[in-house]
Amino acid sequence: MAKLKQVLPSGARDISFFEQVYEVVKRIPRGRVTSYGAIANFLGTKLSARMVGWAMNAAHSNPLIPAHRVVNRQGLLTGKMHFATPTEMEERLAKEKVKVKEDQVLEFEKIFWDPSVELS
């Protein structure tokens, strides 16, 4: 939580877990991806990757939250079924020059964005 306070807008200390997730996701740069587990780890809830997934499922219709940049720990587009169409997640990533083949982010390790490193 100490790390999170550094990235949250002032006055936003008592926000919900979902809102904390969204604040981190908003900081993922274009052309990069992160994982549910990396976000959970950054928030100090290492075993809550599934809860981060639930937050992402609730965020797909919000254009201010780049939910398409969050994948599983292997780089798979496991959240794609929560977008408006089955191909929307991949299409959004392609617009950012992220290559995907058979629902797998290519060069995943190269473009992986770790909030614990990048936001510290």
Q: What residue ranges do the domains of the chain occupy? A: 2-8+16-118
Asked if 55 and 67 count as a contact pair (C-beta separation under 8 A), the reply is no
- Cα angle value 85/91/94 (rounded, 5°): 165
Enter the tokens of residue 58.
């609730």
Single pTM value for the model = 0.88
CA dist list (Å): 111 to 17, 29, 79, 105: 26, 10, 18, 9
Q: Would you say residue 8 has pLDDT above 50?
A: yes
pLDDT at residue 4, as a whole number: 56
Q: Would you say residue 61 has pLDDT above 90?
A: no
Note the pLDDT tens digit of each residue in 34-54.
Answer: 999 999 999 999 889 999 999
pLDDT at residue 14, as a whole number: 67
At residue 6 the predicted structure's pLDDT band, cuts being 50, 70 and 90, is low
Enter the tokens of residue 103.
């629902």
Residue 69 C-beta-side C-alpha neighbours within 13 Å: 27
Q: Would you say residue 11 has pLDDT above 70?
A: no
C-alpha dihedral sign at 55, 61, 66, 68: positive
Asked if 67 and 45 count as a contact pair (C-beta separation under 8 A), the reply is no
Residue indicated by tokens 């995907």: 100
Enter the tokens of residue 98.
């992220």
Rounded to whole angstroms, how far apart are CA atoms 74 and 31?
Answer: 17
Mean pLDDT of the 68-87 span: 95
pLDDT at residue 1, as a whole number: 47
Q: Would you say residue 113 has pLDDT above 50?
A: yes
Enter the tokens of residue 38.
């990396």
Note the pLDDT tens digit of each residue in 91-110.
Answer: 999 999 999 999 999 999 99
pLDDT at residue 7, as a whole number: 61
CATH number of 2-8+16-118: 1.10.10.10
